[in-house]
Amino acid sequence: MSSRAQGVSGKSIEWPTLALLALCYAVWGIGTTWAAGWFLPLGMVMVALAAALHSSLCHEALHGHPTRFGWLNEALVFPALTLCIPYIRFRDTHLAHHRDAILTDPYDDPESNYLDPAVWDRLPPWVQAVLNLNNRLVGRLLIGPVVSQVAFMAADWRAIRAGERAVLRGWLWHIPALGLVIGWMAALGQMPVWAFVLSSYAAISILKIRTFLEHQAHLRARGRTVIIEDRGLLAFLFLNNNLHVVHHMHPRLPWYRLPGLYFANRDRYLARNDGYMFPSYGAIFRRYLFKAKDPVPHPLWRRL
């Protein structure tokens, strides 16, 4: 594999990503105004899809796209279209998650959905029931945004109380990012508040499809990260992050180069992750819509 595949695109400006950013903001802006005024369900769909895409573009920004200037990349995705997650906190926790050796660790991986079995055993039955529902795709879609937001904010609140200023700074920067969105809606929005909030919630639900089984419990770090060979709408909204092994191996590679690299080296990547692969998101829905993908307590934790 060439060294070029392991780094950035080699361009100072990645025009496909800039064009997609412009399209994303245009769809969101039209969805909250003209489309919502003309036919509210259309506006809501446009807002949900654009906000989900914006989150994927935030993911691109934190990995160094679409320019060589980090401050500019972050400015380009500054408005908080998904409302709830501060970009700086997303950036910091996601980059911490990229240490493959700690993937799925209930303590060290900030994006893990697994719990220490000892912690699980102490949870009230109703909390266990909620988390078990959240481990089914239908639950991840319906309550996943609330479950993850509560856990995320609780962890950050503990960090702030412990004196971690970087966490507090991330939330303080979220105020003007959210203010831009609220200001737009107050001045130009033609969408009722309930519809806007529901659309933004739906955007996070869409993103939960991507994160549902990105990583699995596996004795070897190499076998913990999935490949989903999807080329449809969801793959586009996730900016090809469904090819997740490729992204973890080459995190500085822009989204539009991931499919070419994967399909040119398919056998290598599937050997790399011990064949943890699904042919499409449709296959995942058919298999896991009402079925738990794995237990909430880490199934290998007692043997680590």
Residue 1: pLDDT band (50, 70, 90) is very low
Residue 163 has pLDDT above 80, yes or no: yes
pLDDT tens-digit readout, 187-246: 999 999 999 999 999 999 999 999 999 999 998 989 999 999 999 999 999 999 999 999
Please check whether residue 217 is in contact with residue 233, taking contact to mean a CB–CB distance below 8 angstroms: no
pLDDT tens-digit readout, 66-89: 999 999 999 999 999 999 999 999
pLDDT tens-digit readout, 4-56: 333 444 468 999 999 999 999 999 999 999 999 999 999 999 999 999 999 99
Tokens found for residue 154:
């609780």
Rounded Cα distance, 48 and 58, in Å: 15
Dump the DSSP string for 142-170.
Answer: HTHHHHHHHHHHHHHHHHHHTT-HHHHHH
Residue 303 has pLDDT above 90, yes or no: no
Residue 2: pLDDT band (50, 70, 90) is very low
Please check whether residue 290 is in contact with residue 132, taking contact to mean a CB–CB distance below 8 angstroms: no
Percent of the chain with pLDDT over 70: 95
Residue 103 has pLDDT above 70, yes or no: yes
pLDDT at 11: 60
Rounded Cα distance, 175 and 275, in Å: 43
Helix axes 87-97, 40-62, angle to 10 degrees: 50
Look at the chain and report how many structural domains it folds into.
1
Tokens found for residue 229:
């060979």
Rounded Cα distance, 143 and 292, in Å: 14
Residue 184 has pLDDT above 90, yes or no: yes
pLDDT at 133: 97
Residue 211 or residue 1, greater confidence: 211
pLDDT tens-digit readout, 116-137: 999 999 999 999 999 999 999 9
Domain hosting 170: range is 3-303
